[in-house]
Amino acid sequence: MPFGFRFPFRRRPRPSTIRTLRTDAAQACAAIHRFGFAHPWSAGEFASLLASPATLASAALDPRTGRLRGFALSRLAADEAEILTVAVDPALRGYGVGRDLMREHLARAALSGVRTIFLEVDPDNRAAVALYRRFGFRDVGRREGYYRRPDGPPTAAIVMRRDLA
Residues in contact with ligand COA by the rule CB under 6 A: 3, 36, 85-88, 93-99, 121, 125-128, 130-131, 134
**23, 51 Cβ separation under 8 angstroms:** yes
d(CA 71, CA 56): 11
Instruction: Say if CB 154 and CB 146 are below 8 A apart.
Output: yes
Least distance in Å: CB of 71 to ligand COA?
9
- Residue 78 gets the label, from left (phi > 0), alpha (psi -120 to 50) or beta, of left
At its nearest, how many Å lie between ligand COA and the CB of residue 54?
A: 18
CB of 164 to ligand COA, least distance (A): 18
Q: Which is nearer to ligand COA, 99 or 108 (CB)?
A: 99
The residue among 18, 15, 29, 20 whose CA lies nearest residue 104 is 18
CB of 7 to ligand COA, least distance (A): 11
Measured from the CB atom, the residue of 77 and 130 that comes closer to ligand COA is 130
**Would you say 7 or 112 has its CB closer to ligand COA?**
7
